[in-house]
Amino acid sequence: MKNAYLTIDDSPSEKMGDLIDLLQECGIPAVFFCIGQNLERYPQFAIRAIREGFVLGNHSWSHPHFSKLSIEQAFTEIQRTDELLDALYQEAGVARPMKCFRFPYGDKGDGRKGHIFKALKPKGALRSQIIQTLLRGLGYTQPTWEGVRYNYYQQNLGKDVDWHWTYDVMEWSVMQRRPSLGVRALPQVLERMDSAVPPDLRGDVEESSIWLQSPSDEIILVHDHKETAHLMPAILNALQGKELVFQAFQ
């Protein structure tokens, strides 16, 4: 058995209430990385999640590619959502337990647009440092993830304060006009959990190993999208059938 941490991006959707119900039935803790615009639209789901013990994180205001923003725009995206999260925690009557941030598309604003294995140019590195400094200044942190053993995470992503992921469930792909990596529907999402290392993010895990059976803990990424909400019971059920223990964040 190994530890898994469930992170849910793009919340709140109009289906967030169902997702909270489902997580509670399954007994799975989670962080919801929220988009500011969506929080404005569905504050009631955010407040309920806070009161029921879930963690709400910052996923920017309007979900842009940070590599395409000016530094000023990047600051606004982060700060505006940070302030709204503060207000929602206050309204819920709960102290904000931690500040966590995830970049839309994993795009750290460094010009690589989320392709984290591409070479980083000096200008991009500088932009990334400036944005990381802003996040640190606002109190954002990332856990040390001691059980996450992927080299690319510990030696690279883990040094920043934003949260990346180690396993993308890729359920988002089924609603794309051109699905990625052949993930067209639920069967491919589930098959992928038992496949050898899928050819997207891995770097350092041996090709022959089955991803979810590697010796590393996993930071798992799914999304709170109304279009894929109906897939979540099967996805969470399948994950619970693996050798994973879902851990809380606080």
Positions in the binding site for Zn ion (CB under 5 A): 9-10, 104
- Quote the least distance from Cβ 63 to Zn ion, whole Å: 6
| Secondary structure (DSSP) of 29-41 | -EEEEE-HHHHHH
Complex with Zn ion: residue 170 or 205, whichever CB lies closer: 170
- Quote the least distance from Cβ 33 to Zn ion, whole Å: 7
Using only the alpha carbons of the chain, give its radius of gyration.
17
Complex with Zn ion: residue 9 or 168, whichever CB lies closer: 9
What span, in angstroms and rounded, lies between the C-alpha atoms of 142 and 158? 8
**Residue among 188, 218, 184, 222 nearest 202 (CA):** 218
Q: Phi and psi at residue 222, in whole multiples of 5°?
A: -130, 175
Complex with Zn ion: residue 3 or 76, whichever CB lies closer: 76
For 130, residues 6+ apart whose C-beta sits below 8 A from its C-beta are 71
What span, in angstroms and rounded, lies between the C-alpha atoms of 217 and 146? 8
What tokens were used for 19? 């997702």
Find where tokens 């589930």 sit. 190
Beta-bridged to residue 34, according to DSSP, are 11, 58
Q: Judge if the upstream peptide bond of residue 12 is cis by omega within 30 degrees of 0.
A: yes
The one-letter amino acid code at 19 reads: L
What span, in angstroms and rounded, lies between the C-alpha atoms of 155 and 117? 12
Complex with Zn ion: residue 109 or 205, whichever CB lies closer: 109
Residue nearest to Zn ion (CB): 9
Complex with Zn ion: residue 10 or 217, whichever CB lies closer: 10
Q: Phi and psi at residue 184, in whole multiples of 5°?
A: -105, -25
- Quote the least distance from Cβ 102 to Zn ion, whole Å: 7
Find where tokens 């099967």 sit. 234
Complex with Zn ion: residue 66 or 211, whichever CB lies closer: 66
- Quote the least distance from Cβ 240 to Zn ion, whole Å: 24
- Quote the least distance from Cβ 59 to Zn ion, whole Å: 6
- Quote the least distance from Cβ 18 to Zn ion, whole Å: 19
- Quote the least distance from Cβ 241 to Zn ion, whole Å: 26
Which H or E element spans position 2? strand 2-11
Complex with Zn ion: residue 174 or 205, whichever CB lies closer: 174
